[in-house]
Amino acid sequence: MTLILTAGPAEEPVTLGEARAFLRLDDTGEDGLLAALITAARAVLEGETRRAFVTQSWRLLIDRFPEGAIVMPLAPVAEVTAITLVARNGESETVDPALYDLELGAEPPRIHPAAGGGWPAPKKRAGGIAIDFTAGYGGPASVPQALKHAVLLLVAHWFETRLPVAFEGANEIPFTVGALIVPYRRFRL
């Protein structure tokens, strides 16, 4: 299973102004650093929670269809735009949406073969099935406040601690940030 970002978010869950206000910065001299920290914090927290915060497009490549449902690796999933079978020669065939059912509101989101049907056979052995989908809560206003606050706390932590540290636990998410994201974490089984 390979997950590829095809179009990142158009905006971040928190603005530079919100980060400046949170850090009590009056000038814009650190805006370049703050923008980079906001993007990095969002990416780290999305990885920790296995959620997309702001709308973004992804492609999931799998080798074969599972016995039952395809469990999506990210949540929330807004839509599945296409399921495509890719042949060795590069030709592709789009799977008819009537052949599958979407359970996007489930946790985790799933794609099932339609009732009474099954999945079509892949056209090649490795990475022959591409699932294009859109994930995220929507725009920044739709991102849960706890996740936005976690981004701000992590930005503040990195802003104040600019040098790498080498002690046990240095690579861990700060406790307060971890506490905010606990309800949104999707665990791997």
Distance between CA atoms of 143 and 149, rounded to whole angstroms? 10
Domain ranges of the chain: 2-53+139-184, 56-135
pLDDT for 188 beyond 70: no
Q: What is the pTM for the complete model shown? A: 0.87
79 confidence band (pLDDT: 50, 70, 90): very high
Helix axis angle, 31-49 relative to 145-160, nearest 10°?
A: 130
Considering only CA atoms, give the Rg of the chain.
Answer: 20
Q: What does each C-alpha distance from 26 to 4, 23, 30, 147, 158 come to in angstroms? A: 38, 9, 10, 24, 18
Query: 25-63: per-residue pLDDT in tens?
Result: 999 999 999 999 999 999 999 999 999 999 999 999 999
pLDDT in tens, 84-109: 998 778 788 899 999 999 999 888 99
CATH code reported for the domain at 2-53+139-184: 1.10.3230
Q: What is the pLDDT of residues 133-182, one digit of tens each?
A: 999 999 999 999 999 999 999 999 999 887 766 555 556 788 899 899 99
Most confident of 14-18, 116-120, 158-162, 174-178: 14-18
